[in-house]
């Protein structure tokens, strides 16, 4: 079965890693959010892309889920001592990635090509694609005005209330080479447990992507468990936008895109309401604490996905 996954950073990378263990590399493509990308210290930083690649390469910091394992912080300490901006944590090993990516971008290479080259160097088997080679920054709308995503997320620690989001340049952006093909050729599309508002919505805002996902059998994994996010502001965002955070809210969020929805046992009382949306429900343990959990959840998602693919093709016959 050929699978194309949509992913943000930490939550998405964990399931992508599980999928990478459960599928041959040629059968897995991961399309990653680049709405969080920004320029800092003159360098192009792609947090979600790096989190996914480091995780698949076995280079990620297991404690944080982002950044590199065995990291040191000498460059950042030296910068801070000079009064430079140190609010965005960049470790020494990680800096090497940003330096080389920025050098290549300035030389005119597209992000998708650079990502493919880095993945080859790191021994990443599956295909990892940025959603677009064009800049498409996520802007967070707040009562105090618009905030660039990392200003909101890292510098302000998600404190400002959100009133909405804007994906700047979405109308003009093109999907990166291979994105639409990977969606069209997928037997199954998996929406990883990433923040629906700021990790998955930016990906489907790229022209052509929403339609391409809707056209194929697709399952999503809930990033909300027991009304809360495992990590990050997803639940806070739902609440501030006037929606009670729940697995059901995530299922509704992706309603037009998905055929099946995987959510946690603790939310099993929402099964009937999810089925009433016309979405096939699947309840299991969805918290990925260990490497084994990632593989286990990925295998269950794939098995459930196979059922969904079968049912959809029977219906269309």
By CB under 6 A, name the binding residues for ligand GDP: 8-12, 14, 48, 51, 193-195, 199, 221-223, 225, 229-232, 234, 286-288
Distance CA 230, CA 227 (A): 10
CA 126 to chain centre: 15
- Any residues with CB less than 8 A from the CB of 129 and at least 6 apart, and which? 29, 30, 31, 32, 112, 115, 176, 177, 178, 179, 182
* Cβ-based nearer residue to ligand GDP, 23 or 297: 297
* Cβ-based nearer residue to ligand GDP, 183 or 249: 249
Is 137 within 8 Å of 38 (Cβ atoms)? yes
Minimum CB separation of residue 192 from ligand GDP in Å reads 6
Task: Residue 45: name the closest of 154, 121, 127, 146 by CA.
Answer: 154
- Give the single-character DSSP code of 134: S
Minimum CB separation of residue 289 from ligand GDP in Å reads 7
Minimum CB separation of residue 230 from ligand GDP in Å reads 4
Distance CA 285, CA 297 (A): 8
CA gyration radius for the chain? 19
Minimum CB separation of residue 250 from ligand GDP in Å reads 9
Minimum CB separation of residue 194 from ligand GDP in Å reads 3
* Cβ-based nearer residue to ligand GDP, 8 or 126: 8
* Cβ-based nearer residue to ligand GDP, 124 or 235: 235
Is 131 within 8 Å of 31 (Cβ atoms)? yes
**Both structure tokens of 95:** 């800096």
* Cβ-based nearer residue to ligand GDP, 109 or 161: 161
Distance CA 301, CA 284 (A): 10
> Minimal CB distance to ligand GDP: which residue?
11
Minimum CB separation of residue 107 from ligand GDP in Å reads 28
* Cβ-based nearer residue to ligand GDP, 106 or 289: 289
* Cβ-based nearer residue to ligand GDP, 74 or 166: 166
Helix (H, G, I), strand (E, B) or coil at 159: coil
Minimum CB separation of residue 254 from ligand GDP in Å reads 13
């Amino acid at each position: 079965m050929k699978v194309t996954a949509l992913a943000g950073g930490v939550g998405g990378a964990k399931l992508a890693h599980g999928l990478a263990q459960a599928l041959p590399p040629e059968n897995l493509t991961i399309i990653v959010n680049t709405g969080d990308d920004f320029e800092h210290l003159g360098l192009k930083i792609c947090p979600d892309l790096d989190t996914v690649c480091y995780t698949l390469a076995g280079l990620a910091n297991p404690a944080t889920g982002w950044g590199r394992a065995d990291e040191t912080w000498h460059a950042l300490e030296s910068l801070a001592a000079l009064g430079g901006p140190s609010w965005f944590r960049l470790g020494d090993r990680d800096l090497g990635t940003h330096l080389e990516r920025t050098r290549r971008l300035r030389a005119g290479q597209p992000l998708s090509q650079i990502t493919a080259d880095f993945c080859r160097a790191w021994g990443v088997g599956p295909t990892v694609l940025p959603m677009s080679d064009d800049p498409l920054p996520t802007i967070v709308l707040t009562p105090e005005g618009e905030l660039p995503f990392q200003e909101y997320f890292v510098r302000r620690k998600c404190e400002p209330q959100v009133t909405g989001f804007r994906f700047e340049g979405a109308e003009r952006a093109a999907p990166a080479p291979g994105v639409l093909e990977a969606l069209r050729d997928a037997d199954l599309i998996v929406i990883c447990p990433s923040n629906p508002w700021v990790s998955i919505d930016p990906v489907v805002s790229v022209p052509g992507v929403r339609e391409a996902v809707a056209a194929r059998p697709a399952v999503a994994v809930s990033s909300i468990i027991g009304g809360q996010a495992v990590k990050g502001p997803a639940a806070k965002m739902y609440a501030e936008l006037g929606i009670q955070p729940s697995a059901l809210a995530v299922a509704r969020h992706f309603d037009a895109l998905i055929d099946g929805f995987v959510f946690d046992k603790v939310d099993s009382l929402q099964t009937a309401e999810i089925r009433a949306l016309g979405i096939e429900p699947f309840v299991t343990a969805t918290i990925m604490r260990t490497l084994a959990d990632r593989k286990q959840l990925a295998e269950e998602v794939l098995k459930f996905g196979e059922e969904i693919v079968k049912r959809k093709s029977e219906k269309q016959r």
